Amino acid sequence: MSVYIHETSRTFHLQNQQFSYIMKVLPNGHMGQLYFGRPIHDRENYDYLLEKCIRSHSASPDLLEGFSLEHVRQEYPVYGSADFRQGAVEILQENGSRLCDFVYRGYRIIEGKPRLTGLPATYVEDESDAQTLVLNLSDAVTGVELELFYTVFREMGVLTRSAHFINKGSKAVQLTRAMSLSLDLPDDQYDWIQFSGSWARERMPVTHRLSEGIHAIESLRGHSSHQQNPFVILKRPRTDEFSGEAMGFSFVYSGNFLAQAEVDTYQVTRFMMGIHPTWFSWKLESGDDFTTPEVVLAYTREGLNDLSQTFHRLFQNHLIRGEYRHKVRPILINNWEATYFDFNEEKLLAIAAKAKECGVEMFVLDDGWFGARRNDYAGLGDWYPAKELLPDGIAGLSEKIEQMGMKFGLWFEPEMVNPDSDLYRAHPDWVLQIPDRKNSLARHQLVLDFSRPEVVDYIYGLVSGILRESRISYVKWDMNRSITECGSQAYPADRQGEIFHRYILGVYDLYERLTAEFPHILFESCAGGGGRFDAGLLYYAPQAWTSDDTDAVERIKIQYGTSYGYPVSSMGSHVSAVPNHQLNRITPLKTRAETAFFGTYGYELDLNRLSEEEIADVRKYTQFMKDHRELLQFGTFYRLRSPFESNEPAWMVVSGDQKEAIVGSFRILSKANQAFMRLRLAGLREDLLYEVEGMGTFYGDELMGAGLVTSDAATGKVGENIMPSGDFSSVIYLLKAVK
């Protein structure tokens, strides 16, 4: 890992064993992009990569002959001078101009990685694990200075980017566009992969070939959203799961975002990612500063699995914090789909008691335990226990659960309020709203104005009070609606463009305070399921409820798509009742469990309603997860067959020493007299002999080359050891190296 500085040619070369990233100061003082890709030898001068050209109808800054910003690759471009493509930055000035001219002034190198104040970001604990280059630029007219941060991680193909603005001028300005990353690439030969969906079908991979024009995904919902995830992959057309060049961009942020690729008519691709500029502005008085959230850029030449594994390792080791960073997750049961709002303490204790018999380690009480909350019309914001349901409160219930030998968890939705609540009646001005405009309701609730510190302080007081007085080991933090009418009565007109971002900063502040005071509590983020599943929240909550859709067949697709950018240990996954509450589909208990194994694992049903045979299976699956969760949650994950392309999707995890592996193979629909089947495995050592439980021993090269024979009764084979077949079926294969 090195940052090479060549003063004479004013060239910067960031390099590790996975990539090289090369920039230089352009003739007009702006920063130019020369190269990003496989590592190449360092040299004093790469000017041959700077192709300066004046084409017809081009403009040249400062009458520089043979040089036009329109046809040069740049690091942090500006629209409005000689570049007609979309820019990374825009500053509204007193005279109405939005033009700026950030010229290189110098640099500094930081060993390690500085933290971003008030924002989640990747980190290192050992300074030798990363090196950071900071480029200093300034705009002479406004006096605004710009710092561009580039951090190279030593052991991974990862470069992180963010920008820091400081107004050192005498007049206030409005920052109206501030991307975290801009990257100009020399060609357009890329497939763009986005992860789209909606509630209950989040993060479905969608692939497009880049072409001239703009391709973008975004969220203007106030959260990263079910619809588009702030994660994009650009890959070469022939790149697949196991070979080829690809780069991934993950935004470490939970609010409005924009990710776009602009391809010009000369096939240059400009990728940008950052806070969405719509409804965004940030007033910088003299002396004020603003830091953009971080973008993680990962690069590989070894295919999409390797790209995903890079993100998994980075997030598990350098983003997630606290006690559960490397700790297996407790097996829990949540009462929501078992009872919804219809419960009392007796019913809850009965569910917990049965779960305890089955080996479950934690009971989680979901919505409906507080205030007047007997349905979703009332009570949000009134975080005090409903004594008619829980005579001894949360403190008493949590103590009774712990006396059973289980841990206790609790649901909150701290960012929301019902109009029918004591909180709203006392503070109607504490919700996001715009004067003289009607508020929109969603799920019968409004959004608290977390841009106001006093609102965050109040909610912190209520939630922390419950956590202090009770025996709580887990918190499920929900957020069940998007933001509308985003305005605040606490800020003047020229700061209303700050509210979306200030809201997210308030969310982060509350998370930071609670996780710091209660480091033993496992926090799980949730936003109507997977509506805020992003790298930003992984910094505070090491796992997220992957989707409200608990159907096993749909979860195969959702978890498969999520795995492109997020580790298995971050995916909340439960076994729920059938018929499924979202799809009304009936799937085998075995398939529901074996799908949920590849996540945090838990139950979302009343086990008292199962048959004795089913209870025996629950005990078996619970024990299996306990025996193997270290490998399942922290092993190296491989996608083998896609549920979007195959009727028999498959994936696997491999231990760090490659001596153990678990394969999950699934069938969506059974077919009559179907072809023989083989499943090529991955990640094994070629020279090791593996025992596949119940099937025999095979060398790693056999299993990865010839494949594992997975033919079952659907092929017409018969015999004692032939797997049965059927719709919505699954098989788990256990591999262990033979000594």
| Residue positions annotated with a catalytic role | 478, 548
Q: What is the enclosing helix (H) or strand (E) of 629?
A: helix 612-634
Region of 428 on the Ramachandran plot (φ > 0 left; ψ -120 to 50 alpha; else beta): alpha
Q: What is the DSSP string of 220-283?
A: -SSSS-SSB-SEEEEE-TT--SSSB-EEEEEEE-SS-EEEEEEE-TT--EEEEEEE--TT--EE
> Per this entry, what is the length of the chain?
739
- Beta strands 416-417 and 103-111, pairing class: unpaired
Q: Using N-to-C axis directions, what is the helix angle for 612-634 and 589-596, rounded to 10°?
A: 20
Query: Hey, what are 628's tokens?
Result: 């193997």
Q: What is the enclosing helix (H) or strand (E) of 218?
A: strand 213-219
Q: Are 390 and 397 in contact (CB under 8 A)?
A: yes
Q: Are 169 and 85 in contact (CB under 8 A)?
A: no
Q: Are 709 and 678 in contact (CB under 8 A)?
A: yes
DSSP 47: G
Round to whole Å and give the CA distance between 40 and 20.
6
- How much helix, strand and coil, in percent to the nearest 5, is found in the chain? 20, 30, 45
Round to whole Å and give the CA distance between 671 and 727.
9
Q: What angle do CA 93, 98, 99 make, to 5 degrees?
A: 110
Q: How far is CA 628 from CA 328, 599, 623, 635, in A?
A: 10, 12, 9, 10
